[in-house]
Structure 1
């Protein structure tokens, strides 16, 4: 009997050219960019955890919302977090969490 397993394919698709991506130069620029991408209508309603994905030149490839919780907490599944990091070929990550 032949053993069979599933084949797993991983892909990442970015639509912006690297020279158009915003660059993180300091913690303030990261905070400003993260805040600008947050939904201001719900920012104080519940806790949210996001990751900012960067390339080797500290340019932001994207921001991914990893977890959206309740009033007092949110749970982050590290398996999902690492899956996103690996699929996007990210070389640096900034963890972003907002709680009121």
Structure 2
């Protein structure tokens, strides 16, 4: 057997922190998280299709970044927990806030919303990452917070 077919590539992890991170906004309450998230939702589509994104935070709850991971249809979007965790691990985050919109304006979480939250929470817990909240946004400048409602 040829030895070149048995070669395994080395995997290296490299992280270069952004110097601007020190001036990143710090999440101190749900309203602050909502304002930051709302800026990242495409306002042309917030009442048309569901989008799901994640705010990644450091241990001081400063925003490391936003992952605009998933876009769906009128009533749902597919969320891949593995991609959420891959970004969390690569970014060395300590906490996360997940969010999605309900184009209908209804703020009540669906069974699927609760299931997705539970799956992400369990995955994050394995890596000692805190899922701090799941925020549902409406196109009508209102939101629902799982943390504020005691679900998280």
The verdict on a shared fold, with TM-score over 0.5 as the criterion, is yes
1:23 aligns with 2:31: no
1:71 to 70, 74, 81: 74
Question: What stretches of structure 2 of length at least 5 have no aligned partner?
Answer: 104-152
1:85 deviation in Å? 0.5
User: Residue 87 of structure 1 corresponds to which residue in structure 2?
Assistant: 90
User: Residue 7 of structure 2 corresponds to which residue in structure 1?
Assistant: 4
TM-score (normalised: structure 2): 0.59
Q: Specify which structure has the higher proportion of helix.
A: 2
1:14 deviation in Å? 4.8
User: Residue 39 of structure 2 corresponds to which residue in structure 1?
Assistant: 36
- In the aligned structure 1, how far is the partner of 2:9 from the partner of 2:67? 27
- In the aligned structure 1, how far is the partner of 2:94 from the partner of 2:100? 20
- Count of residue pairs the alignment pairs up: 100
TM-score (normalised: structure 1): 0.87
Question: What stretches of structure 1 of length at least 5 have no aligned partner?
Answer: none
